[in-house]
Amino acid sequence: MLRVVFMGTPDFSVPTLMEIVGQGHEVVAVYSQPPRPAGRGMEERKTPVHQAADQLGLPVFTPTSLKSEEEQEKFRALDADVAVVVAYGLLLPKAILDAPHEGCLNLHGSLLPRWRGAAPIQRAIMAGDAETGVQVMRMDEGLDTGDICMSETIPITEQMTAEDLHDKMMVLGADLMVRALGALSRGLLTSRPQAEEGVTYAKKIDKAESRIDFSMSAKEVHNIIRGLSPFPGAWVMMTIRGKEQRVKLLRSELADGAGVPGTLLDDAMTIACGEGAVRLAKLQRAGKGAMNADEFLRGADLTIGDVIT
């Protein structure tokens, strides 16, 4: 069994931590982002990984940076065999990368070198990719440039949202990482350099990208809606009962139809695009819960021919 430092922050990281503990490895410390104000009361809230570590009785460290000599010495003193990094969110300096005896392994949510960077799940769907995957990578100082140890491919179906893909990846990724640790503990973990061709970058989602432009093709609109669902959520403005309201679009389907982009074509929430049409299947008005198209229309006064922007 291995002495492991686990480094992660969001829900995505939790199954991997649980699997590592379940396999009997010794997690000597957990690193996570510091607690931050959240919710209506803006009370400080521990990250999902921090909460899980507390439940497991594991020591947790939440530095704002790992650049200081003090933090690096604290990390070295843990005498870890390996660090496992899953969506941690802090840059790891070379001193940290070099500290564990077997280095640092990262779980990444794409098939590298495609979609290096911050938002690989969303970008793969928004680009209309037919497949993606999870990979265990040996970390180096570059941005997701390390050698690949193990991979699993995941098909991206036409209706899959970022949430659907996230949930599939975090389970499959946890299994992949513990298999990698098992191989590492037996001295059998091998790696290969990433391909030099096909590099793309999954830049962080900009809020400006989330407003839908119906002059795009229906396929592009559909991919953006599902790629940004549920967060931050693609959105449009609709006039509902005489008032302009922001509405999130959480699920859609490609549909038949044509017209001026943004025009409501029928009573099933089919909207004309620059090419083709999309049916808005799940929507959410500000301050209300998500609802399907039928429920949404019962609470709105939209009529066929209205233009949505």
Q: What is the pLDDT of residues 65-119, one digit of tens each?
A: 999 999 999 999 999 999 999 999 999 999 999 999 999 999 999 999 999 999 9
Q: What is the pLDDT of residues 123-145, one digit of tens each?
A: 999 999 999 999 999 999 999 99
Q: What is the pLDDT of residues 233-255, one digit of tens each?
A: 999 999 988 889 999 999 999 99
Q: What is the pLDDT of residues 206-226, one digit of tens each?
A: 988 999 999 999 999 999 999
Place 299 in a pLDDT band, splitting at 50, 70 and 90.
confident
Percent of the chain whose pLDDT exceeds 90: 93
Determine contact, residues 126/223, Cβ cutoff 8 Å: yes
Place 7 in a pLDDT band, splitting at 50, 70 and 90.
very high
Check residue 301 and give its pLDDT: 87
Check residue 42 and give its pLDDT: 76
The CA radius of gyration of the chain, in Å to the nearest whole number, is 22
Check residue 39 and give its pLDDT: 74
More confident residue, 301 or 14: 14
Check residue 247 and give its pLDDT: 97
Mean pLDDT score, 260-288: 96
Task: Share the mean pLDDT of the chain.
Answer: 96
Catalogue all structural domains in the chain, each as residue range(s) with its CATH number: 3-185 (3.40.50.170), 208-298 (3.10.25.10)
Check residue 41 and give its pLDDT: 74
Mean pLDDT score, 261-266: 97
Indicate the pTM of the whole model: 0.94
Check residue 172 and give its pLDDT: 98
Place 286 in a pLDDT band, splitting at 50, 70 and 90.
confident
Check residue 33 and give its pLDDT: 97
Q: What is the pLDDT of residues 188-210, one digit of tens each?
A: 999 999 999 999 999 999 988 99
List, as residue ranges, the binding site: 110-113
List, as residue ranges, the binding site for (6S)-5,6,7,8-tetrahydrofolate: 110-113
Check residue 87 and give its pLDDT: 97
